[in-house]
Amino acid sequence: MKKDGETVRICKVETIAQGKGKLVRVSYEQRRRDGERQRRHREIYDNGNSAVILPYDADRKTVLLTRQLRLPVLLQDGMERTVEACAGKLDGEEAERRIVKEMQEELGYNISKLERLFELYVSPAAIMEKIVFFVCTYSPVNKVSDGGGLKEEGEDIEVVETTLEQAAAMVSTGEIVDAKTVVLVQYLRDRMQAAIRS
């Protein structure tokens, strides 16, 4: 965790809880734009950085997604399973290497050529996680298993193959509520529409 910035001095970092991730309380002093110094406290959750990918089959105009339990969504909205792009924690690995493994585990596809797009913080006010975004091409010949994730990690993942247009419609209707998936679906859809126009 980085300590001080140009206008910010970190005073204290204490761990409140630690499990799969770590919740810390950070006390800091910030010099405001008017020159006044202000003491503040924030809770920050660090559950590690991750990578996400949206595979696209240009011939069939399809994408591969997952459907799985997300407990926060169930508790907030009552939805037992959410539709998302394939993603996983880096756990110290290079993003490209990790997302290839995740695709094999979750989707059952073996892909070697990826396109790295950008890195984003999805909720920078309280969560340290930075996500590396990828797209790739795939076809039925890349399928090596049924996917589904790793049972020993508690994963029970359904592979969802749908058209890019249907995925965009799922965003509009609220069936896809995961921010990283919305970003990838919109990005890929805009790219495909721009290619048709040019």
Give CA–CA dist 146/154, Å, rounded: 17
Confidence category of residue 2, pLDDT binned at 50, 70, 90: low
Q: What is the mean pLDDT of the chain?
A: 93
Q: pTM for the full model?
A: 0.92
Q: What is the pLDDT of residue 197?
A: 83
- ∠ at Cα 151 (149, 154), nearest 5°? 90
Closest CA to 26 of 49, 3, 59: 3
Instruction: Find all residues with CB under 8 Å of 109, minimum gap 6, and list them.
Output: 55, 64, 103, 138, 142, 143, 144, 147
What's the average model confidence in pLDDT over 113-135? 95
% of the chain at pLDDT higher than 70: 98
Helices (H), 30-105: 71-77, 95-102
- ∠ at Cα 24 (91, 73), nearest 5°? 70
pLDDT at 57 over 80: yes
pLDDT at 3 over 80: no
pLDDT at 165 over 80: yes
Backbone angles phi, psi at 48, to 5 degrees: 90, 160
Per-residue pLDDT tens over the stretch 93-117: 999 999 999 999 999 999 989 999 9
Q: What is the pLDDT of residue 154?
A: 81
pLDDT at 1 over 70: no
Q: What is the pLDDT of residue 13?
A: 93
Q: What is the pLDDT of residue 6?
A: 83
Contact between 150 and 105 under an 8 Å Cβ cutoff? The reply is: yes
For residue 59, what are the β-bridge partners?
none
Amino acid letter, 73: V
Element (H, E) at 179: helix 179-197
Tokens in use for 165?
Answer: 């247009």
What's the average model confidence in pLDDT over 74-94? 94
Q: What is the pLDDT of residue 112?
A: 85
Highest mean pLDDT among 4-13, 62-71, 150-159: 62-71
